[in-house]
Structure 1
Amino acid sequence: MNSVVNISEGNAKEKFWVKSQAARTIKAKNEIFTDYLWVVTKWGFLKRQKFLLTKKKLYMYMENELDFKNEISICWKTVKPFYESSDQNQRYGFNLSEGQLNKDFYTDSSVHLDQWLFHLSKIGICNDIEDDFDFIKKIGHGTFSLVYLAIDKSTNKEFAIKAINKSQFSNQNEAKKIIKNEISILRKLNHPGIAKLHKVYESDGYVYLVFDYLAGDNLCQRIRNKGPYSEKVAVKLMSKLLNILSYLNSKGVIHRDIKADNLILVSNENDEDFKLIDFGIACKTTENMENSCGTPGYIAPEVLSQRPWSHKADIFGAGIVFYAMLSQRLPFSSKSVNEIIRKNRECSIECTGSSWNNITAQAIETLLKLVQKDPTRRPTADEALRLPFFTANLINSSFSSSNSQDRKQKLKRMNCMRRSNIV
């Protein structure tokens, strides 16, 4: 196994500062914080400089403070606070480093340092996670990670911390790419339906991602323990999920693993309030979309067939979640993973049996559109939200007053069409 590679390792040939070509009017739109810091000059004394911190970079102002002199990217810099004491004075500051590149910055006070650390921690890579959090218990796990409930020592607030074991990856350079991809995607997202990434820490063996703590079960557990959702509630949940997918599409992001297990209830006291988690295999829409990935049973058929695919693969996963909400089971079931994948690829979905007796024809028609085998005929998230099932104020007359005989005939026609892949 290769030696462990840090995500904050940079190119030793690079310079710490780059001459800035930025236009102040453009960068000001992304401004986070503007303040003064003390930096060590090449002659060894401290000089007070004005700096601008944006969502990605730190800019040093010119002497006249009318333009920028230098800039650095903060995204993969490690942020390390320090404290120096002597008989004459006390100094507080932080170090920014990436590989062999590093620079010290001094603040006016400990309070001033805390202000800079608050903003830098949302952009860079922190260290010494044990100084900031108490790990309480393990609450989940993945292929290369464990998830812990932790308490912020300064606020006593609960967080979920995903600890990624870098040594478990056989290819360390590939591991670095995968981890940085997840972090960069999560940091560009800000949606109430997505678990928020607050900070990133790194040690020699682990990368730690600090998220919102969600105390509830995932939707798979909730459905298994309490039975299917009513159609009245399912339409609300699906509307929320599709809105999340619409947001991801607007950001050029594909989740690639939409499933009930990745939808976590904020609390078990509320069956409707959930957030989407786990962007470990998410990608940008500009990447090559031909490799297979995801969870068997939820994967879009075009992905399994290794044909070019798009954000509509997430819509298929959402459709499978909808199926589970209404029926308490998945459409492609088997004890064999290979058999699940075979059924998943063939994509023959039937909405029959006693669990579907009280489901309206409109709900089933909407479901079958979401899990359409042909992605060109599958709606986008925005198109799905404009379907009558979602636009009729969540409840319409068909929920209570549809003619039973007409409904059964319509369901029979749709299932026949579905088996022929016509719908």
Structure 2
Amino acid sequence: MEKSYILGRQVGSGVDGSVCVITESSTGYQYGCKSIDRSDNAAVLHAHAEITMLERLRGHPNIVTYNGHFEDERQLHIVMDLEGDDLCSHLQERGPRPEKEAARILKAVVSAVAVCHERRVMHRDIKPDNILLPSKQSGYENVKLADFGASADFSDRRCFRDVEGTSYYVAPEVLTGTGYDEKVDIWSLGILLHVLLSGYVPFHGKSEADIFRNIKTRSLNLNGSPWQEISAEAKELLKGMLQKNPYRRLTLAQIMAHPWLNKETNESESEMLVDSY
């Protein structure tokens, strides 16, 4: 990429690198830039995998837009459209979302994951930190799925055994060592929905070993606060997404067709139309 950029403020950081605002010198356009230390071989490997996946996934409104990459002596830089805060920060500030808002976020992310799977990309690290809100004041339906550093191409095989992802969001079959496929993303979407509605993850522990043990052995508990106030339909969808047996887990098509998701998002769209007049 033969362009000149001016480095700006840091807006985020992760295991593999930091994210800063950069400005294109010739146009003044601003972008988000993920920078990875070239001395970290594992991080560079993840970065090249991410570039490959982002190129494949270009064009979907709910997937972060890739604008190229470049290298200097110390770092590999991935240039993407500049977005707003991540959903994790948003939830920490505002708390759990009402069902209508949770449904709009879920529908947008499920739509993105459906395109990923159609193009044989398994994300493997879906969580609020990797979902970006649009930089302008627009609705939750415009959130974008980001950070494809842990993703995998499943074009040629359907069984994976390497452990990838974030402990609270990893599917039980990843932890058994027997192999897994793209249905792990649906489990992570279920954890996301749980967090959106309640503000906390369903399986936790004092250590990673505790978390993993609880993911594998504990039942989903939807008793207590705030679950008494949440609709039966939302809880039914959540239970279907968080089936420990991946073959009993809902498919993406079943999630998109679920009555709760369509009822809540259709009502939200109607309210927005009324508000616009």
TM-score when scaled to structure 2? 0.88
Structure 2 residue 244 is matched with structure 1 residue 339 = no
Corresponding residue to 2:21 among 149, 154, 162: 149
- 1:385 paired to 2:256: yes
Say if 2:48 is the partner of 1:180.
yes
Matching residue of 1:138: 10
Q: Which structure shows the higher strand fraction?
A: 1
Aligned residue in 1 for 2:125: 257
Alignment map for 1:297-376 (pairs within 5 Å): 297-376=168-247
Change (3 A) 1:381 1:334: same
CA contact (8 A) 2:121 2:151 kept: yes
Q: Which has the higher contact order (CA 8 A, sep 6+)?
A: 2
Structure 1 CA distance, aligned partners of 2:138 and 2:251?
28
TM-score, L = length of structure 1: 0.59
2:77 to 208, 230, 237: 208
Post-superposition Cα deviations, 1:171-209, rounded to whole Å, max 9, x if no partner, equal xxx666443322111111121101111011012322110
Percent identity between matched residues is 30
Residues 86-165 of structure 1 mapped to structure 2, 5 A cutoff = 126=1, 132-165=4-37
Structure-2 separation of matches of 1:353 and 1:156: 52
Find the aligned partners of 1:226 and 1:141 in 2 and give their Cα distance: 21
Poorly superposed stretches of 4+, deviation over 3 Å: 174-179, 267-271, 391-396
In structure 1, how many angstroms separate the alpha carbons of the residues matched to 2:161 and 2:240?
23
More helix by share: 2
Residue ranges of structure 1 left out of the alignment (5+ in a row): 1-125, 397-423
Question: 1:200 is paired with a residue of what secondary structure?
Answer: strand
Helix, strand or coil for the counterpart of 1:244?
Answer: helix
Query: What is the CA–CA distance in structure 2 between the aligned matches of 1:322 and 1:377, rounded to whole Å?
Result: 18
Q: Which has the larger radius of gyration?
A: 1
The partner residue of 2:135 within 267, 272, 279 is 267
2:145 is aligned to: 276
Which residue is 1:231 aligned to?
99
The letter of the residue matching 1:267 is: S
Distance 1:370 1:201 in 2: 39
| Offset of residue 166 of structure 1 | 1.2
The CA deviation at 1:237 is 1.3
Query: Which residue is equivalent to 1:241?
Result: 109
* C-alpha RMSD of the superposition: 1.9
CA distance in 1, matches of 2:139, 2:224: 25
- What is the CA distance between 1:234 and its match in structure 2? 1.2
Equivalent residues, number = 263
Q: Mark the CA change 1:271 to 1:395 in structure 2 (over 3 Å): closer, same or farther.
A: closer
Q: Is the 8 A contact 1:262 1:276 kept in 2?
A: yes
The whole-number CA distance in structure 1 between the counterparts of 2:223 and 2:200 is: 12
Aligned residues of 2:205 and 2:214 also touching (Cα < 8 A): no
SS of the counterpart of 2:223? coil
